[in-house]
Chains A and B, each alone.
Chain A
Amino acid sequence: MPSIERPDTLKEVALQYLRDAVCNADAQFRDGQWESIEQAVKGNRVLVVQRTGWGKTMVYTISTKLRRERGAGPSLMISPLVALMRNQKHAASTLGLNAQRMTGDNFDEWREIHKKLIKGEVDLLMVTPERLANDRFITNTLPLIADGLGMLIIDEAHCISDWGHDFRPDYQRIRRVQEMIPQGAAIVATTATANNRVVEDVRGQLGDGIQVTRGSLVRRSLQLHNFKIPEAGTRLAWMAWAIADHLPGSGIIYVLTRRDADLVAHWLQSRKIKAFAYHGDSGEREELENRLMNNDIKVLVATIALGMGFDKPDLSFIIHYQRPGSVVHYYQQVGRAGRGITDAYGFLLWGEEDERIADYFLDNAFPSQAEIDEVLGVLEETDGGLTLKEIMFRVNLKKSRIEKVLKLASLESPAPVIYEAGKAGAWYATGDVYGFQVPAERIKRLKEIREHEKNQMREYMNHDGCLMAFLQRALDDETAQDCGRCRNCTNRTEKSFLPKPEIIQEAEKFIRKRPIVIFPKRKWPISELSDHPIHETQQILPEFRASVGFSLCRAFDDNLGDEILMQRRRRSQYSEAVVDAFCEALKSRIQQEGIVCVTYVPPRNRRRHVPILASALASNLGLQLIDAATRVKTGRSQGDFKNPVQRSRNIADVFVIDAPCKSPTFLIDDIVVSGWTMATMAALLRYDGCPKVIPAVLVTRSLSE
C-alpha cells in the first residue's frame, strides 16, 4: 500500500492535478470528489454514484496518478463503453498518465501495449468486460504486469448488481473477481444510474468500510419533450424538419436497430443533413466520433453502440427515434446532451413498432432450458472440444441462441463449459456441472425488472408532470423537484408542430422505395459441405459467386411485403400487380447488367409460385426462360433450420444443373431468408458456365422475423 502523505499536502497536489486536467486554475473539487480520491489512494473501496458530467473520471484518474507516484502498479479500468475509453485516454493524458485500451477494435495495437506493460509504462489499462472475460486476458495480458494491478476501476458498476437495469453477463465475473480480492486493495466503482436497491447491492458486494458518494441527478440545462408519432414516415419527416430548421449545434439520434440507423441516416442525408449511421457494423466508428466531436457532423444516428461514455460537452440535442428499454437507459442517453452548455434538448418520439421490439428483446434475452440441454448435451458427449461451428453443425439452434447458452453457462462458477483459446478455439465440457439448470430464479427476477422498466417507460411517455423530476425519482434521487424547463413544466409545445404534409409523403416514399440489396456470400459456413467442386474450399471462389442481388420489398416493413406473404400462403400464384411491380424493378437492370435469361430456384414441393413467376417475368421482359436446375432431393424446408451451418448443409447437395445458362441471368425466388439457397444455386450455375447470376426476389425476411 502506498505511504500516505499528510492529507492537506496530498489534497493540494490532487487539486493541482484537477486544475491541470480541466485547464482552469480556479477549479475546486465537487462535493465528495476529494473524499473519494483520498480513500482510493489509501487503498480503500469507493462507490461513486453521480450524474454524468459530475467528474467521476477525475476521481480515478487523479487517484491513479497519485498511486502511481507512490509506486503502485497500473490501474485497470473495466468499462463497457469503448467510446468512453477514447475520451478517458485523452483525459488521462492531460495528467501525464499513459492510458491504453485493449478492445475488440484495436487488435493491431495489443502487441505494442503488451510491450509497454512489461516495461511498466502503462498507468491506466482500459478493457471491456467482454475482453476481461476472455481467457486470453488472464493468460496473456495480466501476467505481464509485474507489480500487479494497483487499482481496479469498475465503470457502470450498477451492472454488477442483478438488480441493475443493465444485465450484462460478463459483469458476473467482475462481481466475483472483486469478491475474491483481499482487503487492502483500492477499488473504485462508479455509476451514474443506480437506484437505492442497486446501491445497497453493490455496496454489499464491495464489502465493509466502503465509502459511498452520491449526488443529485438533475441536469438543469436539459429541456425534455415527449411526442407520440406512431408512423415511421411522420417521425422521419419531423426529424428532418426539426434538425434542419430548429435545432442548433449537433446531436445524436438513438434508434433500436442497425437497420433503422441506416434508414434514418440515409433519409436525413437525402434531406441534405450531414448525418451518419453509427452501429456495430459501421466502419471507422472512432472517426465518426471524432467528426462529431469537431462538429463536422450535424447528427450521428446511433444504436446503443454509441454508448453512455461519449462525452461532448456542447452536444445540444438527443432525439430518440424509438423509445429505449427503460427510464434509466433513457436518462443515460439523454444525459449526453447539455453538459457544457446552458440549453439542450431531449426529444423522445415513440412509434407503433416500439412495443414489438421491446418484447422481442425481452423474450430473447435468455436461453431456455431446452436450448441449454441441447448445447451442453453435445459437448458432454464429445471427447474433445467443439468449435462454435461444430456445435452449430450438431445443434439446430440459431447461432445467437447457441452463443447465449455458452455465455450463460461459461460464466457460471464452476462452469459446466469453458472456452479454450487456441488455434481453433473450442468449447469443452468441464465435468463440473452435469445437468446444468437455467438460473430460473435470476432470470425470472431479471424479466420482472425489465417488465417493470417497460411499464415505467410507458408511464413516463404518458406523464403529465415534470419529466426531469420523473427521471430523478425513478433513480431514487431524493432531491427531485420540478425543473421548470421541460415540455410539461413550461407547457411549450411549439417544437411539436408537425412538418408539412409533403415532407411526410416524401418520407413515406423514401421508406418504400429504398433499395433492398442482397449481398453475395463470400464463404461457406463450414468446409466440405459436399463433394461438388464449388464446396472444395471454404471460401466461395469469385468465379462461383453471385453478383449483388436485390429484393422488391421487405417482410413486415410495408404493405407490399405483407401482401406478398399473404399471397404466398393463400393463392396458387402471385397477382398481376405483384408481377408488374417486380417487372418494373427488374427492367432497369436488364440493360445495365446485360441480362439475357431468367432462371429460378426449383421449388421443394408442388407449389408452382416461383416457376410461374419466372415464366411471367421472362415473357413480360422478353428474356429467355431456362429451367436450369432440378431438385434431386426434397430435403427439409430451410425454415426448419436455424443457423447458417445447418441451412447451407441442408441445401448443399439438393440441386443439379441440367440445362446450364451460358448468358447472364436473373435467378428468381419469391422469398429469401438467410440467402444460402441463392448462394448455392448461383455457385452451381456459375460452375456450369453462367457468366453472371443476379439474385432477384420478391421479399426478404430476416431470421428473427
Chain B
Amino acid sequence: MVWPLSDDTNAIMLLYGWFGAEQQPLSLSEYNMLVEWLHRHQYRPHHLIDGVCNSAEVADETDLSHDRLKSLLDRRITLGFYLEEWQRRGYWILGRGDAIYPKRIRQCLGSQAPPLLFGTGEINLLDRGGVAVIGPDPVGQPPSESTRTIANLCAQHDYPTITAGSQEIATVTAENVVSAGGRLVWVLSGRQLSKPLEKKIRHAKASRKIALLASRSPADPRSMPQEPEIGRLLIALCNSAVYVDGTEFSVDPYDFRPAMETYQSRRTFFVWSDEYATRAVDQLLKAGGHIWKNEQDSIAAGLFEVNTEVGSEARTDCGPELESLALLQPVDARDRPEDQKQSNTALENSDIDEQTELPGHKDPSEYVQGELFDIHPEISQGGEIWKLTRNDPGYPASIRASMGDDAPRLILGVGEKNMTGRNRLAIIGPDSIPSARIKKVCEIATKLNRPVIVVGYLRMAREIVHVVHKCSGSVIWILDDEELKLRLKSPYQQALREHHLIMLAVKKSDMSKNSGLIGSLAVGLADEVLYVDGSNFGESSKREDRFGARVAALGRLEICRLLYGRKLSPEGQQVKERGAKSWVDEGAEIHNSVEENPGKYDDSWGQVQLF
C-alpha cells in the first residue's frame, strides 16, 4: 500500500517536495547532506517531525540552516492538502526510504536517485526492466514505423517498453505500445503527470499495463526542459535502450545521451539511424552501442536480455531495518565507487576519443545551439568571450569527472583558452579573511608559480586577483556570466592582456539550479584547495561551511588544506572536522604540498588526471 505515506516519506515530502514556487525545498545535494547527518546520528527522516531530533541540531553540524529546515517542516498542513489532491487523482508517491521504491533506480543512481517518485498506474512495472525507446527531438526518421516494430516485439515477448518525455517519439511509442497491448513505463515531468489522459492510455491504466513516473512533484514549478533526471531515470529503469537518431539540429532535453554514456557498461544500447548518422550516434557506437540492423540481430545482441545487475537478490543479506537504512543512504561504499569508477573510465575513454577529430563532422562549436547556450547580448558586448560545452574536447575533464552530471553544460571564458599550468591552488574561505593573510598566501603561491583559482566577486576574491596580478602570477577567476562584464574594467583588462588572468563563468540559470556551482567548479579544477580561515566574528558562517561541505561532497578532502591564524573559527573547526589537514606554518605547508606531488599534474586541461 502506498497510501497513507510512510512517516519517512511524509518527512521527505516536507523537506524535498515542491508545493508551488514560493518556497524552495532542499536540493538533492542538500537532502543528501541531511541524510548523511541522519545516518551519523542513527536517526530517520521522520524523527525530524516526531520531535526526536530537531532542525537546530542539524543546522549545528551541516550547511543547512535551522530557519530553513523549520520553515520546510512547518508545511505540514499544506502538505495535507497536496497529498489529498494527489491521492484523489490516483497518484502514488514513493520515498527513497520505502521498501517499494524501485531497487533498480536506487542501485543504479545511488545518491542521485530521486528522494521522491511520483506516479500513477501499475507500480510493479517499475522493477521489471524493459526496452527503452528514446531519441532527441526531432528524431531523424519517422519514428512511428520503428517504434511500432519495437512496441510489437516487446508486446510479443511480454516485455515492458519504457519511454520518456513528451516529444513525438515518446507519444508515438506510447501509442504503439498501448495499441499492441504491451506494457509501458513512461517517465514524465511532474507537471505532465497531472495532465488528463487520453482514452487509450486510460484504458491501459485500467488494465494495469501502464505506469507513469516522475521524479518531480506535479506542483513543481521549475521549467520542464531542465530535467536531466528524466534521462537518468529512464536508463536506470531499462535493461536495453534503442536510441532513434536525430538530426544535427535535434535537441536532447532529457539528457538521454549523457546518461547512456554513463551507464553504457551496464545496459545494452542500440542505435537506430539512417545513413547520415549524427555525431551523437557516432559517440554512442564508439561507447559500445550496437547499430540496429533487424529484429533478430537485436534480440541476439541482447535486446531482451534480462539485466541481472538489479533485482531481488540485492541486499537480501541485510535485515529489514538495515535494508531500509540502506535505502536511505546517499552514496555509500557499496553503490557509488563502482558507479564512479565506471563512469570515470567511460569519461576517460571518451576524453581520449574526443581528442581525435571525428571524420566528417563539423566543428564542435557549431553544435552549440538553443537558448541554453546563448550569451546575453549585454554580456557578450565587447566580444572576446569563448564557450565550452560539455561535448567539447577542450572541456576540462577534471570538472566532468568530479561533478558528473552536475558539471555545467556551458563554460564561458575570457583570456587564454588553452592555458597551461600546474599545481593549481584554489583559495576559498569567507570574506572576513584578514588582508595580510590573503597577501601572504598569494605571494607564496606566485613565488612557487602556482596558478591561483578564486571564485565570486566578494572582497576576498578581488583582493586575491589584485595581489596575484601585482606579483605577476596567474589567476583563474570563476564568476557568473553577468560578472564577466568585469573584463571591461581597466585593471582586469590589463591583467588579461598580460595573460595573468583567465575569467571563467557559468550561466546564472545553471546556478539557480545549483547555488554552489562556481564553488564546485573551483574545487573541480584545483589540484589543491586551501581553506583560509576567517575571523571569529561576522555573519559569514553559512558561506564558509558551504565550501567545506562542497569539498567533502566532491570527495576531494584529500587535497584540502586548512590555513588559520592564532585561533580557529567555529567554521574553520567544521572544515577541520571534515578531515582537512590543519596546518599553521602556512609557508612551509604550501611549499611542502607542492614538493610532495612533483609531476602529478599534466599541463593541459583536457588531460588532467584526477582522484
Contact = CB atoms under 8 A, between A and B. Distances in A.
Contacts of A383: 198-199
A144 interface: yes
A152 B77 CA distance: 7
B89 interface: yes
Contact of A143 (B21, B51, B85, B199): B21
Contact of A431 (B20, B77, B85, B197): B197
Interface centre among B5, B76, B197 (most CB of A within 10 A): B76
Interface centre among A145, A148, A413, A432 (most CB of B within 10 A): A148
Interface centre among A150, A176, A178, A384 (most CB of B within 10 A): A176
A209 B514 CA distance: 42
Given A177-B81, A418-B89, A431-B203, A182 B19 contact: no
Contact of B90 (A181, A185, A414): A414
A429 B80 contact: no
Given A173-B88, A381-B199, A142 B74 contact: no
Contact of A429 (B76, B81, B202, B219): B202
Interface in A454-491: none
Nearest to B92: A414
A305 B125 CA distance: 50
A381 B4 CA distance: 31
B85 A135 contact: yes
A455 to B, nearest CB: 36
Interface string A135-150: 1001100111111111
Contact of B201 (A145, A148, A418, A431): A431
A181 B203 contact: no
B87 A144 contact: no
A430 B23 contact: no
Nearest to A148: B75
B20 A147 contact: no
B7 A182 contact: yes
Nearest to A413: B88
A177 B19 CA distance: 15
Contacts of A181: 76-77, 79-80
B205 A144 contact: no
Nearest to A186: B77
Contacts of A1: 74
A185 B50 CA distance: 11
A67 to B, nearest CB: 11
Interface string B67-108: 000010011111111111101111000000000000000000
B306 interface: no
Contact of A384 (B23, B88, B196): B196
Contact of A173 (B19, B84, B202): B84
Contacts of B87: 176, 180, 413-414
B16 to A, nearest CB: 14
Contacts of A146: 22-23
Nearest to A383: B199
Contact of B197 (A148, A411, A430, A434): A430
Given A181-B80, A182-B76, A418 B88 contact: yes
Interface in A321-355: none
A148 B85 CA distance: 16
A208 to B, nearest CB: 13
Contact of A420 (B7, B22, B196, B206): B196
Contacts of A382: 199
B19 A415 contact: no
B78 A148 contact: yes
Interface string B216-227: 000101000000
Nearest to A416: B90
Nearest to A118: B22
A432 B78 CA distance: 25
Interface string A1-38: 10000000000000000000000000000000000000
B262 interface: no
A135 B82 CA distance: 10
Contacts of B74: 1, 72-73, 147-148, 150
Nearest to A426: B196
A415 B23 CA distance: 29
B268 interface: no
B19 A180 contact: no
Contacts of A144: 20, 22
Interface in A69-105: 72-73, 76
Contacts of B7: 182
B75 A180 contact: no
A185 B206 contact: no
B74 to A, nearest CB: 5
Interface in B501-557: none
Interface string B39-81: 0000000000111000000000000000000010011111111
B10 interface: yes
A380 B202 contact: yes
A146 to B, nearest CB: 4
A383 B23 CA distance: 36
A309 B132 CA distance: 59
B7 to A, nearest CB: 7
A143 B4 contact: no
A184 interface: yes
Nearest to B7: A182
Contacts of A135: 85
Contacts of A584: none
Given A180-B79, A184-B51, A418-B88, A142 B196 contact: no
Contacts of A150: 74, 77
A1 B120 CA distance: 33
B185 interface: no
Contacts of B221: 143
A430 B90 contact: yes
B355 to A, nearest CB: 48
Interface in A54-77: 72-73, 76
Contacts of A178: 80
Given A152-B77, A415-B90, A180 B197 contact: no
Interface centre among A146, A151, A182 (most CB of B within 10 A): A182
B14 interface: yes
Nearest to A76: B77
A647 to B, nearest CB: 29
A139 B22 CA distance: 12
A615 B415 CA distance: 101
Given A148-B75, A383-B198, A430-B197, A182 B84 contact: no
Contacts of A73: 74
B163 to A, nearest CB: 18
A666 interface: no
B199 A142 contact: no
Contacts of A434: 206
Interface centre among A138, A385, A431 (most CB of B within 10 A): A431
Interface string A355-366: 000000000000
B171 to A, nearest CB: 14
Contact of B84 (A148, A176, A183, A385): A176
B219 A143 contact: yes
A179 interface: yes
A171 interface: no
Contacts of A432: 89-90, 120, 205-206
B88 A177 contact: no
Interface in B1-31: 4-5, 7, 10-11, 14, 19-23
B85 A182 contact: no
A428 interface: yes
Closest 8 pairs (CB-CB, A-B)? A143-B20, A431-B202, A148-B75, A181-B80, A414-B90, A432-B90, A428-B196, A146-B22
Given A415-B90, A431-B197, 14 more contacts: A72-B74, A139-B219, A143-B21, A143-B22, A145-B78, A146-B22, A148-B71, A149-B78, A177-B80, A182-B76, A380-B202, A382-B199, A414-B88, A430-B90
13 contacts: A118-B22, A132-B81, A143-B19, A148-B75, A152-B80, A181-B76, A184-B50, A413-B84, A415-B89, A418-B88, A430-B196, A431-B197, A431-B202
